[in-house]
């Protein structure tokens, strides 16, 4: 078969791209994509959040992170090397809309993108000697129902920036517990105690693992993950959550 010349190919791809862009424009005209934060129509280069909302994300400053206010939540409970979050989580604000989109409305790609931003934010000062990221697992029934684990997608985004693997075969959630929303600190702990087990064929002795979750409130879910892991010899555990309730 006769091979097409380079010029011909370039023209074909230019026309193809032009057609794709016009189809996108038309689709956007009838079914505009809206910003999760403010509800305004997104331009074609924006995804999920408009640039204004992206700039207004309530990112926790490095100076605040250095105060270790997240790590302090685990004092007297479990040993944690480092604990970092990216955003402040507040009800009825953009951070809640973003986290709900990731968790309840299929926004796994948004979770991945924010995970990447989180990874870029922390890689200079934190998690220098880390072996892997371990997302908080969902119960298999919940995973089937939702179709994805939001914490895993956040971890995948972070992993790309931190250049470490994501291990999903370390922990398993054996109990399908009710949602933690509307529970106080004691009820939250009672709700998650003993629901995670080690399920690991890997040699994780002496490893430094980072548990990744979407939102941290009292830290009880993370604590329930740390307890079975802390039975492993010489293991080091850190924590990264996309958002934290201040
Ligand atoms: Zn917006």
- Number of Cβ within 10 Å of residue 29's Cβ equals 9
Does the structure show a pLDDT above 80 at 175?
no
Range 149-167 average pLDDT: 96
Give me ligand 1 centre to Cα 118, in Å.
Answer: 19
Rounded to whole angstroms, the Cα distance separating 131 from 81 reads 13
Integer Cα distance of 73 and 81 in angstroms: 13
DSSP class per residue in 146-214 = HSS-HHHHHHHHHHHHHT--B--SSEEE-S-PPP-TT--HHHHHHHHTT-EEE---S--TT-EEEEEEE
d(CA 228, CA 13): 54
**Cα 36 to averaged position of ligand 1 atoms, centre (Å):** 6
What's the CATH number of domain 57-245, 3.10.450, 3.30.450, 1.10.3430, 3.40.50? 3.40.50
Average pLDDT over residues 176-192: 69
The pLDDT value recorded for residue 189 is 66
**What's the 37 CA to ligand 1 centre distance in angstroms?**
5
Percent of the chain predicted with pLDDT > 90: 54
Answer whether 75's CB lies under 8 Å from 226's CB. Answer: no
- Whether 212 contacts 183, CB under 8 Å: no
Residue 35 Cα to ligand 1 middle (Å): 5
How far, in Å, is the centroid of ligand 1 from the Cα of 38? 4
For the cut 70, the answer to whether the pLDDT of residue 1 exceeds it is no
Q: How far is the CA of 206 from the centre of ligand 1 (A)?
A: 44
Is the pLDDT at 2 greater than 60? The verdict is no
What is the value of pTM for the model shown? 0.84
Distance 117 CA to ligand 1 centre (A): 17
- Residue with more model confidence, 25 or 92: 92
- At residue 45 the predicted structure's pLDDT band, cuts being 50, 70 and 90, is confident
Domain locations in the chain? 7-52, 57-245
Angle between helices 94-104 and 150-162 (to 10 degrees): 110
If you measure from the C-alpha of residue 48 to the centroid of ligand 1, how many angstroms do you get, rounded to a whole number?
A: 8
Q: How far is the CA of 57 from the centre of ligand 1 (A)?
A: 10
Lowest pLDDT segment from 31-40, 175-184, 195-204, 209-218: 175-184
pLDDT for 209 beyond 60: yes
Mean pLDDT on 60-86 = 90
Question: Among 46-50, 148-152, 189-193, where is mean pLDDT lowest?
Answer: 189-193
Distance 41 CA to ligand 1 centre (A): 8
C-alpha of residue 55 to centroid of ligand 1, in Å = 9
**Cα(82) to centroid(ligand 1), Å:** 32
Spatial CA neighbour of 213 closest among 233, 192, 185: 192
Confidence of residue 174 (pLDDT cuts 50, 70, 90): confident
pLDDT value, residue 128: 81
What are the backbone dihedrals phi and psi of residue 172, each rounded to the nearest 5 degrees, phi first? -130, 150
181 pLDDT tier (thresholds 50, 70, 90): low
- Strand, helix or coil for residue 240: strand
**CA 34 to centroid of ligand 1, rounded, Å:** 8
pLDDT at 13: 76
pLDDT at site 215: 95
Stretch 60-73: mean pLDDT: 87
Question: What's the CA-to-centroid distance between 33 and ligand 1, angstroms?
Answer: 11
245 CA distance to ligand 1 middle (Å): 22
């Amino acid at each position: 078969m006769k091979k097409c010349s380079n010029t011909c190919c370039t023209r074909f791809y230019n026309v193809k791209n032009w057609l794709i862009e016009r189809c996108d424009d038309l689709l956007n005209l009838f079914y505009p994509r809206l910003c999760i934060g403010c509800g305004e129509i997104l331009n074609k280069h924006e995804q999920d959040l408009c640039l204004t909302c992206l700039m207004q994300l309530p990112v926790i400053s490095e100076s605040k992170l250095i105060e270790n206010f997240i790590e302090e939540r685990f004092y007297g409970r479990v040993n944690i090397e480092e604990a970092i979050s990216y955003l402040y989580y507040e009800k009825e604000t953009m951070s809640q809309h973003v986290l709900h989109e990731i968790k309840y409305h299929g926004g796994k790609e948004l979770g991945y993108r924010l995970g990447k931003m989180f990874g870029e934010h922390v890689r200079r000062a934190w998690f220098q000697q880390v072996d892997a990221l371990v997302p908080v697992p969902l119960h298999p029934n919940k995973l089937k129902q939702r179709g994805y684990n939001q914490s895993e997608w956040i971890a995948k985004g972070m992993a790309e920036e931190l250049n470490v693997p994501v291990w999903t075969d370390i922990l398993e959630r054996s109990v399908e517990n009710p949602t933690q929303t509307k529970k106080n600190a004691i009820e939250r702990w009672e709700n998650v105690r003993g629901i995670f087990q080690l399920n690991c064929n890997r040699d994780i002795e002496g490893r430094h693992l980072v548990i990744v979750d979407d939102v941290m409130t009292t830290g009880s879910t993370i604590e329930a993950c740390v307890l079975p892991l802390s039975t492993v010899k010489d293991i080091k555990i850190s924590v990264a959550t996309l958002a934290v309730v201040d």
